[in-house]
Each structure stands twice: as C-alpha cells, then as structure tokens.
Amino acid sequence: MAIEKAQKFSLPLILIHWLTLLLFIGVYACIELRGMVGYGLRDTMKQWHFVFGVSILVLTLIRIVARFASKIPAIQPKPPAWQMATAHTMEFALYVFMLAMPVLGYLAVNAYGHPVSVFGANLPVLVGANEALGEKLMGVHGTIANIGYVLIAVHAGAALYHHYFVRDNALRQMLPYG
C-alpha cells in the first residue's frame, strides 16, 4: 500500500530523524569501543564523540523547530488513546534525552578544565574548571546514556511492533521512500 506524501512526515524531518540515528550509532560506538583501541586512536574517538554529540544537539534544535512548523501525519488505523499517550510521553523523553546528553557532556568537559573542540575549533567554555562538578556531571551523563539505550530500543521496538504486528502506517511515515 503506497502512502501519499500528505501522510508522511516532511522530508527534512525524515532526514533529520535518520541522520540523528546514525549520529547516535557514532556517539555510542566511539565511547563503547574506545577501550579496544590504542591510546592515540582513543583521543580521536573522544573527539568524534564530541563532534557527534554537538551535531545531535544542533539537529535536535532544528528538529524541534521543524516539528512544530510541520503537520504531523495521523497514524492509520488510529491507535487507542493509551498508546497515543505513551507515544507522546516517549517522544518527550527522547527529546529531553537528545538535548540533555550533549549539554551535560559539554558542561562536564568544561568542568574538567577543557574546552569542547569540534573540527579543531574550541567552543565557548560555559563553566569554569571544577573537577568535583565535572565528576558529578559525567556521572549523570553516563547514567542517562544507559537510559538512552533503553529509550532507543523501546522506540525502535515500538516502530517494528506497529509495522509488523499492528500493521499501521506509523513506521512508513518516517521512511524516506514508499
């Protein structure tokens, strides 16, 4: 069953969605795999982690503006009210996650006494050196990162559930083709 363009998210939102997924893969891969590589490459992976994280923050800000400026297609057939409430709660949690993680990471790096460097350019320092604050911020950053695995898995699982079991158009609305 082909879906008309009016039944899909806008192409910019679709592209931002999938680019954000790729950036999350990069963010998590850089951190999870850094212990398996040599010291020099470890620093490179940390820098890419920063680049990907700041990119997620910028894309999320653009996404929020685009999201409120766009018409949101309806899921057909219409899900029960409790599923829509759950979906909205999950969407809110994902947006908070996508905003909080880069900000916490940025502030933690600053608190450790370092600027965040993206493509060789140092971003403004937002907090002064304070190692105790850096430890606390990094602890929260790490905890929320673990929660992020769950949020992303539940989001992907719900999309697949809707596609393969409920057989509604929820996933197809976010695909760039079809």
> Tell me: the pLDDT tens digits for 19-72?
999 999 999 999 999 888 888 899 899 999 999 999 999 999 999 999 989 889
What is the C-alpha separation between 68 and 85, in angstroms, rounded? 18
pTM of the predicted structure, to 2 decimals: 0.90
% the chain with pLDDT above 90: 84
List CB contacts of 90: < 8 A, sequence separation 6 or more.
Answer: 151, 154, 155, 158
- The DSSP letter of residue 69 is H
Mean pLDDT of 72-99: 96
CATH code where residue 170 lies:
1.20.950
What residues make up the domain containing 144? Answer: 5-174
- Among candidate residues 95, 104, 106, the one with its CA nearest the CA of residue 151: 95
Query: Above 70 in pLDDT, residue 5?
Result: no
Split at pLDDT 50, 70, 90, the class of 1 is very low
Number of domains the chain contains: 1
Read off the tokens for 136. 């606390």
Q: Report the percentage of the chain scoring pLDDT > 70.
A: 96
**pLDDT at position 2 over 60:** no
